[in-house]
Amino acid sequence: MYELLGSITRMKAFCLLVLTFACAATTGCTHTVIGGNPDVSPDQKYALGIEMHGASAKAYTAKTKKRVYLWIATNTKYEKSVTVLDKKYVFLAADLGCNVQWRGSEEVSVAFFDYGDGIYSGDARKSGVPSNHVASLLFRRDMKTGRFAETK
């Protein structure tokens, strides 16, 4: 009888240990992803998409390295979309946000900003806190190639 109880106790301990390691392994690799909804040019010919990835196992509002994936593609209903720009950036920021502004279909600018370490952007906007400039990017379409390139 005591042997059976000992086996069950050891089995429960083993299961608890496996569960603990499984939880630790899966939670250590998570990170926040923001964005993905493309901003379309005024003439509907192009779409600019942005995804901002936070640091693993850190709050998105923490001032950490944020990986930014940015692309521009043709915006067609009946044909396959063609990517005309694909870039990756890394910025040190807190709750990273951006503002996209198309100037026709030939030029688009993106301004990146945050409100400070640990400050949630929604709360900051409601209270009127000014944002911090993180980076500004400008892209122009090359008339010969049809691709977009970053303009410094």
Q: Identify which has the larger pLDDT, 147 or 129.
A: 147
pLDDT band for position 4 (50/70/90)? very low
* Domain limits, the chain: 1-30, 33-150
Please provide the average confidence, as pLDDT, over all residues in the chain. Answer: 86
User: pLDDT exceeding 90 applies to what percent of the chain?
Assistant: 62
Instruction: Read off the pLDDT of residues 16-67 as tens digits, 9 standing for 90 and up.
Output: 555 555 555 555 568 889 887 899 999 999 999 999 999 998 999 999 999 9
Q: What separation in angstroms does the CA of 109 have from each of 9, 33, 68, 133?
A: 63, 21, 15, 14
What tokens does 77 get? Answer: 């209903």
Q: What is the pLDDT of residue 145?
A: 95
